[in-house]
């Protein structure tokens, strides 16, 4: 479980606000996202891990010492999956954006100062590695509005106030009512979708994406699609 004596659960809003401003000045500074999430996590990470570990699939993942990173790094296997599957769509998304599963490892170093158990470390890595899968399964792109909408979608799944802070500060900078509606819609959709944290992502990779969205209660991002090319 968590190493309570070394895990800092204090909220550090001033640090987080500064990091959000740096992120908005340079949206490619992914490391700032992890700084924000760490500064504003409070006890949300503890609650999230406990819920995961107490679920049937979460317990199985921990017992098997799963590595989602390994599955997402096997580009040949992903490319060989059926057309229309989650894994094939993820592979196409990553290739089109010139991304790799390794891309989020270095930016996440903000969390490396924490001394936690192997189970917690595995869970954290899994949450990190599933980020681009959530882009794929929800339909939100990597453009600024897509990232903001995805964070709004994911906030009900994590409870991390850092996500809410990024969304609120970014929301105020949106220039159109249509873009703001995309973010609001994403938050509503995230609340209604099946909890993502304990999903068996590895088993879902070959599944048809549209059927998977239906099964998980993921609604089409209509407002986002209306304002993106």
Task: Please tell me whether the overall predicted TM-score, pTM, comes out greater than 0.85 for this model.
Answer: yes
The tally of CA atoms less than 13 A away on the side-chain side of residue 160 is: 26
Sign (positive or negative) of CA dihedral 152, 186, 129, 21: negative
Give residue-wise pLDDT tens across range 112-171.
677 889 999 999 999 999 999 999 999 999 999 999 999 999 999 999 999 999 999 999
Give residue-wise pLDDT tens across range 9-46.
899 999 999 999 999 999 889 999 999 999 999 999 99
Q: Return the H-helix or E-strand segment holding 11.
A: none
Give residue-wise pLDDT tens across range 58-85.
999 999 999 999 999 999 999 999 999 9
User: CB burial class (10 A; 0-12, 13-18, 19+) of residue 58?
Assistant: buried
Give residue-wise pLDDT tens across range 183-208.
999 999 999 999 999 999 999 999 99
pLDDT of residue 3: 44
Instruction: Show me where the domains of the chain are located.
Output: 13-227
Contacts of residue 160, Cβ cutoff 8 Å, sequence gap at least 6: 37, 40, 41, 44, 45, 48
């Amino acid at each position: 479980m968590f190493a309570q004596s070394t895990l800092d659960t204090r909220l550090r809003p001033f640090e987080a606000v500064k990091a959000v401003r740096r992120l908005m000045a340079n949206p490619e500074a992914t490391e700032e996202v992890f700084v924000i999430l760490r500064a504003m996590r409070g006890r949300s990470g503890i609650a999230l891990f406990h819920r995961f570990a107490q679920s049937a699939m979460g317990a199985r993942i921990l017992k098997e010492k799963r590595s989602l990173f390994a599955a997402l790094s096997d580009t040949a296997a992903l490319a060989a999956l059926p057309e229309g599957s989650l894994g094939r769509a993820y592979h196409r998304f990553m290739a089109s954006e010139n991304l790799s599963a390794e891309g989020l490892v270095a930016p996440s170093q903000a969390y490396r100062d924490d001394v936690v158990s192997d189970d917690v470390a595995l869970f954290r890595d899994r949450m990190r590695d599933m980020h681009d899968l959530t882009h794929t399964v929800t339909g939100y792109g990597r453009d600024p509005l897509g990232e903001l909408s995805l964070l709004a979608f994911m906030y009900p799944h994590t409870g991390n106030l850092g996500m809410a802070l990024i969304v609120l500060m970014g929301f105020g900078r949106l220039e159109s009512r249509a873009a703001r509606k995309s973010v609001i819609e994403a938050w509503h959709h995230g609340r209604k979708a099946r909890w993502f944290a304990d999903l068996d992502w590895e088993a879902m990779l070959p599944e048809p994406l549209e059927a998977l969205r239906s099964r998980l209660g993921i609604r089409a991002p209509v407002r986002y699609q209306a304002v993106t090319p």
